[in-house]
Amino acid sequence: MRSIKKYGRQTIIYAIYLLLLTIVQFTLSGWLIPVALMPDLALVFVIICGSFYGGDEGMIIGLIAGFLRDMLSGRVLGLGMLLLMFAGLAASGLFIKWFRRNSFVVILQIITISFFYELFIIGLTYLFPMLPDQIYSLKQLFDLHLRDSALQIGLNTAAAIPLMFLLHYLGPYPRGQKRTGMEEDDNGDNVWRTI
């Protein structure tokens, strides 16, 4: 009974976040932010979840958020799921060997994962052009990457701050309560402590 209550709370809160972020990202974005670039809210959310609540949760949230992304704006089904799953997993362990978990580390993770996410997309575009006779040079694609990714990373970082506060105060776990069953990593510090 207790576990139903516990998982029920998590499920409902994650579902609300995912629904709202998806609606804001894909349906209301043109209305709210009338510019070409906007923060990648799903990616930011998945990274924060991975960092706050561990790899398993980051992976599952990444898969769900990725499915929604593939369904709503993906050329193919599965790519968003794959990318966001790895983003969630990466966030659970990136920089944890060297730093204690805090908001600075999450920001650092968002910058790093966003950069490599954009880089991966560029690699895919190079390897799998949609028109068979369309050949890109890697230099051309990297130039594009450098031009756009700085702004995109900045926007993602800016979006992370309110999301971190929201998850801290209105997250899937009551404040100050350590998640039961959360695996301890080598440092024994796999718990969100400060913001």
Q: Quote the CA–CA distance of 30 and 57 in Å, as a whole number.
A: 30
Give, as one character, the DSSP assignment of residue 26.
I
Q: Quote the CA–CA distance of 176 and 189 in Å, as a whole number.
A: 15
Instruction: Work out how close the CB of 54 gets to other proteins at its nearest, in angstroms, rounded to a whole number.
Output: 11
Sequence-distant (6+) residues with CB within 8 A of 145 are: 118, 119, 122
Q: Which is nearer to other proteins, 70 or 106 (CB)?
A: 70
> 10 Å Cβ neighbour count for 7?
11
Instruction: Work out how close the CB of 87 gets to other proteins at its nearest, in angstroms, rounded to a whole number.
Output: 13
Instruction: Work out how close the CB of 78 gets to other proteins at its nearest, in angstroms, rounded to a whole number.
Output: 4
Sole binder of other proteins in the list 85, 90, 94, 163 (CB under 8 A)? 85
CA 166 from chain centre, in angstroms, equals 15
Per DSSP, the three-state class of 183 is coil
Q: Which is nearer to other proteins, 13 or 56 (CB)?
A: 56
- Asked if 101 touches other proteins (CB under 8 A), the answer is no
Report yes or no: 113 and 47 within 8 Å, Cβ to Cβ.
yes
Mask for 140-179, x = binds other proteins (CB under 8 A): xx--x---x---x---------------------------
Tokens of 41: 């809210």
Per DSSP, the three-state class of 63 is helix
Sole binder of other proteins in the list 30, 104, 138, 166 (CB under 8 A)? 30
Q: Which is nearer to other proteins, 40 or 171 (CB)?
A: 40
Which positions touch other proteins (CB under 8 A)?
Answer: 19, 22-23, 25-31, 34, 36, 38, 40, 55-56, 59, 63, 67-82, 85, 89, 121-122, 124-125, 129-131, 134, 136, 140-141, 144, 148, 152, 183
